[in-house]
Amino acid sequence: MKLEICVNSYQSAKNACDAGAHRIELCQELSVGGITPSYGLLKQVIKNLDIPVFILIRPRGGSFVYSEDDFEIMKRDIQLCKDLGCQGIVSGILNADKTIDIDRTKQLITLSRPLQFTFHRAFDEVKNPKQALEQLIELGVERVLSSGQEVSAEEGLNLLKELNKISNGRITILVGGGVNSNNANKFKTNGLEEIHASASTHLEGDNSVFSRPITYSDPQKIKAILNAISI
């Protein structure tokens, strides 16, 4: 089983790399579900760390329904990430009726090539997940990140197993949402092959009026997950 760590800073990325994670998804602002990281962070992580780096392409928080301006930003960011040498793109677009925006998602996938493409947790908002999975397979998406349309992947395990059976090796179901060392092996024993976690710890901020608790990926938590799935 492979472990992807969702990281929001250079230190978190380094922690994931040093702890032995198989891959990272690099983003910023986890408090809003993640947005595209800055150029400086992208360059430093890709240049200095020896770990596959997938980049979240999401221009803002909020819904996954994007304006044309948002879409242009996403396309430029994908090209930038390719130029910097990342290994994969994580993105996706929905229509207002909670279906996959096939045309624009296809454009993002085409622009991402030859990199791998992960359709992110916008998938957990679609009305018909089984139909949506077939659409993503048809588009050539390599993996889909999902909690099984529940708050946590443990709660969504039944759907995740169904989706994994439907996939039949045509797409990878990347399990995300509350994954930790206590439940990671449960997904492995149910036939799922990849998990996604932030493995995060909070540090309290200082007394500045602008300070918020800092979240970072904890190497001890990452190692604990790796140990759990090695059983």
- CATH number belonging to domain 2-229: 3.20.20.380
pLDDT tens string 106-159: 999 999 999 999 999 999 999 999 999 999 999 999 999 999 999 999 999 999
Domain ranges of the chain: 2-229
Can you tell me the distance from the alpha carbon of 94 to that of 104, in angstroms, rounded to the nearest whole number? 9
Is the Cβ–Cβ distance between 22 and 52 less than 8 Å?
yes
pLDDT tens string 210-229: 666 788 999 999 999 999 99
Q: Write down the pTM of the prediction.
A: 0.94
CA angle 167, 27, 223 (to 5 degrees): 75
Is cis: bond before 59, omega within 30 of 0? no
